[in-house]
């Protein structure tokens, strides 16, 4: 349990440090095209569900 709390604390601190840095140095004024990403969401979610079912039933 102690290890889990340490890992969660490190991840939270990394998020607090990295997120402002990413927002600060992100390119400004550049149009972001999320159309390419949205076409991958449903196939990836379907693959995730299938993998989780296989993992649940066989392992």
Q: Whole-angstrom Cα distance, residue 15 to residue 21? A: 10
5 or 59, greater pLDDT: 5
SS (H, E, C) 15-55: HHHHHHHHHHHCCCCCCCCCHHHHHHHHHHHHHHHHHHHHH
Domain extent listing, the chain: 2-58
pLDDT tens-digit map of 4-42: 889 999 999 988 898 888 888 877 766 667 777 778 888
- Count CA atoms closer than 13 A to 50's CA, side-chain side: 6
- Predicted model pTM: 0.44
């Amino acid at each position: 349990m102690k290890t889990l709390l340490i890992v969660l604390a490190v991840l939270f601190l990394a998020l607090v440090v990295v997120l402002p840095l990413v927002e600060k140095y992100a390119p400004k004024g550049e149009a972001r095209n999320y159309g390419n990403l949205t076409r991958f969401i449903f196939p990836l979610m379907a693959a995730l569900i299938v993998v989780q079912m296989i993992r649940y039933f066989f392992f």
